Amino acid sequence: MFDTLSDKLQGVFAGLRGRGKLSAADIDKAMRAIRMSLLEADVSLPVVKQLTDAIKARSTGAEVMQSLTPDQQVVKIVNEELAALMGGTAARMPIASKPPTVILMAGLQGSGKTTFCAKLAFQMRKEGRAPLLVACDLQRPAAMDQLEVLGKQIDVPVWREDSKDPVKVAENGVREARRTARDVVIVDTAGRLTVDEEMMGQLISVKGAIDPTAVVLVLDAMTGQTAVDVASAFQQAVQFDGVVLTKLDGDARGGAALSVRAVTGKPILFVGTGEKVDALEQFHPDRMAQRILGMGDVLSLIERASETVDKESVEGLGKRLRSGGAFTLDDMLEQMKQIRKMGPLSGILGMIPGLSQMRKLKDADIDERQMDRVEAIILSMTSQERRKPDVLNGSRRKRIAQGSGTSVQEVNQLLNQFKQMQKLMKSFGKGGKLPPGFGNLN
């Protein structure tokens, strides 16, 4: 996401570094480069003009011209204007003062609407709510089955009927939620391959019947500027309250994320970052702007870690190291699993300041399959070998390589890396100061 745009913008800023002062010509050149970068990212022309005009106005003022570090001031201005373009602050899903909260989903077929319904229900469950999914997509034969399968995965009930009337199904679903004390109702509706009158008419009828707390539009970020055109069409017909962008983990250039708020005036509520039901993030415009500029996103990284990392496991390892226990290959494997829960390594790197600028090297240097090989090597060892790797002689290493489908050289590399980690952990334990994340042991 945004890789190409990030690289191009960082190139613009690199051209401004090392200058004592910036001239008007320097600013004009930078603005032209930023304008082209945004257009190539599929940002709509009016939005590009709005953004670059705002950046230029601020960049040609005393804020930059009289600064000792004008390049940093330009980065700061671009960061603030990007965040403002996308909404400035994070918007939350509206919640009804009197339950149930009824959320009506809208979108074209293939946008990921049904999957997002399950993701949102999963998110609501984590927040302590009791959601009910309502299957009102009666056009696509497998839609109800898909929603039911997803509902079972996340332990959320699904209301479905053998009916051809989506209005009736929606009304009965909301009635069932009240009867069973479900405080959130998520209604999946039918989509089409393109915007058409029948789809809009059906959506308007369902909306009128159930009076939803919020209408949420699901857009496929992969479609770029087309997603913004779709949003404009839905806005004219049904007046939605917020947007969800799916497939931001794919080859998305970012145009939809940068354009949709400016074009529709409606906030982006969530972004989908994968196929799994937990691959959903609240949208933070300021954090997204920082990611685009290669500045990382530490807050999102911390939030993701707190949600996915097993605190008891980490604290248990910390206590054992403090008491003089050895760091084993089992511990190494467990820590790898904790990291993998947080998502793809390239995405994690993108949240770390400094390392986020290594995106262009990710295909060469960040091989997700390498972690699979490491896991296979460790699991090919006996429990004794994992606890005491010093017993691993040549014949044992050959056996492990054959069992894991790797080479003896790869086994040796892993063991060398493990020894480095073991020394590091031992020094932390002796010094009484463990790495961040090991509970309240420091």
Residue 350 has pLDDT above 80, yes or no: no
Instruction: Return residue ranges of the chain for CATH 1.10.260.30.
Output: 308-431
Both structure tokens of 52: 């670059």
Outline which parts of the chain fall under CATH 1.20.120.140: 3-85
Run of H or E including 218: strand 214-220
Q: For the domain with range 101-295, which CATH number is right: 3.40.50.720, 1.10.287.3510, 3.40.50.300, 3.30.420.40? A: 3.40.50.300
Alpha helices in 380-407 (DSSP H): 383-387, 394-404
Asked if pLDDT for residue 173 goes beyond 90, the answer is yes
The domain defined by 3-85 folds into Four Helix Bundle (Hemerythrin (Met), subunit A) (1.20.120)
pTM: 0.67
pLDDT at 74 over 70: yes
Q: Which residues are CB-contacts of 37 (< 8 A; sequence separation ≥ 6)?
A: 5, 8, 9, 12
Question: For residues 39 and 45, is the Cβ–Cβ distance under 8 A?
Answer: yes
23-24-29-33 Cα dihedral, nearest 10 degrees: 110
The average pLDDT across 178-187 equals 95
Residue with tokens 């949003």: 231
Most confident of 42-51, 273-282, 388-397: 388-397
CATH code for residues 308-431: 1.10.260.30
Strands 214-220 and 131-136 turn out to be unpaired
pLDDT at 436 over 50: no
pLDDT band at 239 (very low <50, low <70, confident <90, very high): confident
The residue type found at 69 is T
pLDDT in tens, 240-254: 999 998 877 655 566
Quote the percentage of the chain above a pLDDT of 70.
79
Q: Amino acid identity of 429?
A: G
Mean pLDDT of 37-50: 85
CB 269 within 8 A of CB 282: yes
Residue 87, Ramachandran bin (φ over 0: left; ψ between -120 and 50: alpha; else beta)? left
- Give the three-class secondary structure for 244: strand
Q: Rounded to whole angstroms, how far apart are CA atoms 73 and 13? A: 10
> Which residue shows structure tokens 């760091």?
327
In the predicted model, what is the mean pLDDT of the chain? 81
Scanning the structure block, which residue is given the tokens 């606890």?
Answer: 387
Q: Where in the chain is the domain with CATH 3.40.50.300?
A: 101-295
At residue 309, the pLDDT reads: 62
Return the pLDDT at 15: 78
- CB-count burial class (<10 Å; 0-12, 13-18, 19+) for 103: buried
Asked if 71 and 65 touch (Cβ cutoff 8 Å), the reply is no
| 170 vs 428, higher pLDDT | 170
Q: What is the pLDDT of residue 115?
A: 92
Task: Give yes or no for a contact between 120 and 164, defined as CB atoms under 8 angstroms apart.
Answer: no
- The upper half-sphere exposure of residue 158, i.e. CA atoms within 13 Å in the direction of its Cβ, equals 23
Classified as helix, coil or strand, 182 is coil
